[in-house]
Chains A and B, each alone.
Chain A
Amino acid sequence: MPQIKIYKQDYISTPAGRVWKAFSHNPFALVGLWGVGFLLVLALLAPFIAPYGANEQNQQVLLLPPSWDPAGHVEYFLGTDDLGRDIFSRILHGVQMTFGMSLVIVSCALFFGFIIGAISGMMRGLKSSILGHLLDALLSIPSLLMAILVVAVIGPGLSNVFWAVGIAMVPQFIRTIHQAVHDELQKEYVTAARLDGANDLQILLYVIMPNVWEVLIIQVTMAISAAILDIAALGFLNLGAQAPSPEWGAMVAQGLDNLLLAPWTVTIPGVAILFSVLAVNLVGDGLRSAIAPIRK
């Protein structure tokens, strides 16, 4: 339907526009958004930017401190680890693994969670309640325990992280979407649409969805930050990415051997994790406070 402006009137922005307006007034949230954008760019371009390969060893420069240290060298901006690998390059390569992987996991979890959650949300009665119990049980297995179970079955590796974190995350999405859809379903405007003769699918897509996406976005940002922390934690515990992978958590674990001698091998990957989780959380926080007054 084309918008024809007959009368001169105040432009009333769309809900999304209002959220963006509130969001962009929050400087922290904007910083977070820039951070996330930066990470996204790195995830795509890291292999081209990185000065060295992730596993390129140089025995001439073992445990070189970062460049701001008097003993450091600017060619190895963040120093090197005990095999003479450039930490800066490894961090860049790691963006794809830790941050990129979290995006992949969350998208997959969102996809399945959305389908199951929406269907179950539209359902009522016993089936819905059985599903609820099932979800409660799955939700009560923390992701780390799930990972341990997965590792016990198929052994450690980065692909298992996908399953472990993914399996632990899907129920959260199902639950959020189920709850949101369920809540909206009670409201009168849905009944109105139903009286108009809309079928379940139409109600879900055209009536309910526009009102639950905000919840979904908040859940997604929370899930991404949780996924990054989970991937890194699994890498750290040697249950996820294995050495010599440049996954950040695994890098911390590899640096552990030299914690006392070369603390930067642990500090720098840790800061990278902190930075990305913080960026995602800032965005999530900004979104939440931007959306909150609208939902009230």
Chain B
Amino acid sequence: MTLFWKLTPKTLLCAAVGMLVSACGQATLPPGLVYCSEGNPESFNPQVVTSGTTIDATSHQLYSRLVNYDVEKGDITPGLATDWYISNDGLNYTFNLRHNVQFHHTDFFKPQRAFNADDVLFSFERIINKQHPYHFVSRTGYPFFQSIGFESLISSIEKVNEYQIVFKLNRKDASFLSNLATDFAIILSREYADQLLIEGEPEKIDLQPIGTGPFQLNQYVKNEFIRYTKNPQYWLGDIDIEHLVFDITPKSTSRLAKLITGDCSVSALPKAGELAIIDQHSHIKVDAKPGLNVAFWALNTQKPPLNNISVRRALAHAIDKQNILDVVYNDIAVEATGILPPTSWAYSNNLPANNYDPAKAKNLLDKAGVKDLVINLWAMPVARIYNPNALKTAELIQADLANVGVKVNIITYDWSIFTQKLVSEDYDSVLIGWNADNSDPDNFFTPLLSCSALESNNNRSKWCQKDFDHLLTLAQNTTNRADRKSYYQAAEAILSDQVPLIPIAHAEKVLLKRNNITSMQVRPYGGIAFAKIKHNAQQGNQ
């Protein structure tokens, strides 16, 4: 066998298999781009999920939003709404809608009309109106919207005419526009929904999606790939990519290997250590940007023993975050003291953090009279932007806690099962995180730790505190940045004191791509977008 290896240079191999092709290795691939993604989307509608995998596969590919975020300026820019104005009391938002925006033409749906106010009305009514025929079509609810209390925020949505719509709010909310610009607030087709109702298959709206985005769904094979083709009538103009394929590759090593062998051109979520390998391959580039995210260890505050605040404080002192940063993140993250990352404008670096102090942890446990503590720790099996390797993190925590006499059982499931079981089962603690959808600091607090987030199961600590919630409401009611910043600082202080979760790190957002991919920007928040990508003709790779 070894002899065979040596005797087989590339040319010989090609000669053996490639008698049919004249120029071996110059395989002419069809125009398109393969993205190595990390998992199966749960649905094709981002309204009904919070998982980043689903967002990546849907939000910016299939759909458009009323308003968008400008990555560079951090400003709200027009999307399907060309302009908007806010009433003086801050309660009425009037949007003027874009004309001649076409929904996807597919085999199963031929739109008869362009996008208009009915579609906007439908997309949001579905979320807030429990009587709406589509409200309960989603079995998972609308976690993001529930967690920010969207239902109670909106008093009504009114259609003024075909191309104008008004959102009436019950209270002032400084983060309202930001929330409309998130990856979740996408616009569906009312016409398609009506057609599905007649056909009696309303659940298809989330499985066979129709949107106004740059790509339309062609084929999805679970565990294998998602195939998109370009939307020829995309309202923002022509797109460079003919075909877009998401190659579902859960293993990070496989993703990197595929990138090296050329089976994919862009790849997500590398493990920290793998960046060293990329240096050896000149045809692969690393794109990294500080991300708006946080990885944390959520402690179930409703279940003994973690309902005991001294136990939670002890755990916060027991884990060596710097160590986790070294081992799991290498140098692509900063240690988290609170849940706001340093890139957020509301961040302040003089927070009272719970430092690493095992002696103090032991002391606290002794004082609380807790002995032989056993807790289970749920860890995701997949890499996420905020944590490239939760299982490794869990093993480190396991070792740290063993030092203070706490036994940890690590529990893990496949990602889609994991998120389901998180809702249905009684865990002690879970290693998870949050990738911001917009640059508003509220995005880190309300969807994660407010009482309304408790209902949507997005509050992984199952923690609800009145003072904390009050601070968040105060912060929402004002547009003054200095005031808001001080409210969020106060909220951070509560978190640090009450320890419903232990923040671990803020990771950089890293994307790997081959050299021929240009003008692809890493967005610090939200999902990946391929519409603007350019790539030079591929050649010479197999």
Contact = CB atoms under 8 A, between A and B. Distances in A.
Q: Do A and B come from one complex?
A: yes
Interface of A: 55, 57, 59, 62-63, 82-84, 242-244, 256-262
Contacts of A260: 253, 256-257, 274, 277
Question: SS class of chain A's interface: helix, strand, loop or mixed?
Answer: loop
10 contacts: A57-B395, A82-B273, A82-B327, A83-B399, A243-B391, A257-B253, A257-B273, A258-B253, A258-B273, A261-B277
The 5 closest A-B pairs by CB, nearest first: A261-B273, A260-B277, A259-B253, A57-B399, A244-B395
A62 B389 CA distance: 15
A252 to B, nearest CB: 12
A59 B271 contact: no
Contacts of A258: 253, 271, 273
B252 interface: yes
A59 B326 contact: yes
Contacts of A63: 273
B396 A257 contact: no
Contact of A83 (B256, B274, B396, B410): B396
Given A83-B396, A243-B395, A244-B398, A261 B274 contact: yes
B12 interface: no
- Say which size band chain B's interface belongs to: 20 to 34
B411 to A, nearest CB: 10
Nearest to B275: A261
Contact of B396 (A57, A256, A261): A57
B243 interface: no
Contact of A59 (B257, B273, B327): B327
A173 to B, nearest CB: 34
Interface string B251-272: 1110011000000000000010
Contacts of A261: 273-274, 276-277
B156 interface: no
A83 B257 contact: no
Nearest to B381: A238
Interface of B: 251-253, 256-257, 271, 273-274, 276-277, 323, 326-327, 389, 391-392, 395-396, 398-399, 410
Contacts of A243: 391, 395, 410
Contacts, number: 47
Nearest to B320: A59
B369 to A, nearest CB: 28
Contacts of A84: 327
B395 A257 contact: no
B323 A59 contact: yes
A60 to B, nearest CB: 10
B326 A62 contact: yes
Contact of B251 (A82, A244, A256): A256
Contacts of B251: 256
Nearest to B379: A243
B402 to A, nearest CB: 8
Q: Which of A62, A84, A261 has the most CB of B within 10 A?
A: A261
Contacts of A262: 273
Given A57-B395, A57-B396, A261-B277, 17 more contacts: A57-B399, A59-B327, A62-B327, A82-B273, A83-B327, A83-B396, A83-B399, A84-B327, A242-B410, A243-B391, A256-B251, A258-B253, A258-B273, A259-B253, A261-B274, A261-B276, A262-B273
A82 B253 contact: no
Contacts of B389: 257
B261 to A, nearest CB: 12
A82 B327 CA distance: 7
A62 B326 CA distance: 9
A37 to B, nearest CB: 30
A115 to B, nearest CB: 37
A55 B401 CA distance: 13
Nearest to B409: A242
A263 to B, nearest CB: 11
A243 B251 CA distance: 16
Nearest to A156: B412
Contact of B252 (A55, A83, A244, A257): A257
A192 B172 CA distance: 102
B399 A55 contact: yes
Contacts of B326: 59, 62
Nearest to A84: B327
